[in-house]
Amino acid sequence: MAELSDVYFVDGVRTPFGRAGEKGMYAQTRADDLVVKAMVGLMDRNEEVPKDRVDDVAIAATSQTGDQGLTLGRSTAILAGLPQSVPGLAIERMCAGAMTAVTTMGASIGVGMYDVAIAGGVEHMGRHPIGANADPNPRFVAERLVDPEALNMGVTAERIHDRFPHLTKERADRFGMLSQQKVQAAYEAGSIQPDLVPVSVQGADGAFGLATEDEGRRPETTLQGLAELKTPFRPHGRVTAGTASPLTDGATISLLAGGQAVTELGLAPKMRMVSFAFSGVQPEIMGIGPIPSTEKALAKAGLSIEDIGLFELNEAFAVQVLSFLDHFGIDDDDPRVNQWGGAIALGHPLAASGVRLMIQLAAQFAERPDVRFGLTAMCVGLGQGGSVVWENPNYTGKKKRK
């Protein structure tokens, strides 16, 4: 009989993230091939896990069409060389797709149905712009269920500025600049590169190259430069390209396992899943979504926000992260938050981003045995939030020396 199990994040990798569009490094690369490359990289560095022990593969994409369609979990598993006995599925929760893939597979492990699972996400925003093939039901507008502009994420960010005037453009600009600087510092320290899987790419001229780093970084960003940027979502607005995540292509993948499989296969997990939660909010201000989802996840874990020693928050927009920090009484530049920067600099390939947060938190846990709990959280289009609380297996209880 199946028994309840702990759920472990064993490992995670991702492709370098590329700028979306014709000039981006993945313009000639298929979305499913990005997943396959990441999946092969994950299994190659976890050879102690027999491929036929994978119980399921969940891959998320927001625009499930073309090379992001055809039941991604199953098709990419076959393409990556997993046995045909391994099933797979596709998941869609907009920005929280990969996060939902992890929590869904994690829940299946937790109730003893699965021992080992793969979960991740992909978004090729150059080939599949968000909402490009969507056909929203006319009732949304006719019955005023949702404001028509609620589907425009930039407009929802402007509305957070409206609702919380103390979350100023100046604070958002500073947060955006610091994100760029922190990512650059992490690159210079070699913190991000170990979890990147190089991808062979072909340019528009037919020449082949190798994608080894995230393409959208702008470490030269200054406050003066940010102050002069246009506000595309509203005349005289506050949200700019410097305080929003850029359109991005990329894939992420993770390996999850239960306690029995960890012992049997001799695995060294990087994190233990403590709790997770998703919440709904008004679509018009979707950016506040991680506030209620985090409150739910903390309650389920029996923890408070003070117990969280590291935060990985998805920077869809600077003001969105600031609203979260403000609610929980955390300073804008608290060193626990996005220690290696975030999506403003790295990019946000929608359904892939949740596992990027987990990859970075896991790497930080390894460096911080003084930290017991961490949080990955993100806002989600159409008014949702998602949060996962993790425990550090390296925790020693000893405080870090100053």
Catalytic residues: 95, 348, 379
DSSP tag of 338: -
Residue 9: which of 134, 195, 137, 183 has the closest Cα?
195
How far apart are alpha carbons 172 and 168 in whole angstroms?
A: 6
Residue 120: which of 276, 251, 315 has the closest Cα?
251
DSSP codes joined into one string, 108-145: HHHTTS-SEEEEEEEEETTTS-TTTT----THHHHTTS
Token output for 21 = 């569009």
How far apart are alpha carbons 198 and 235 in whole angstroms?
A: 41
Residue 294: which of 372, 385, 384 has the closest Cα?
385
Q: Please, which residues have CB within 8 angstroms of residue 101's CB and are 6 or more apart in sequence? A: 58, 59, 60, 91, 119, 120, 121, 354, 355
Task: Please tell me the total number of residues recorded for the chain in this structure.
Answer: 402
Cβ atoms of residues 266 and 368 within 8 Å: no
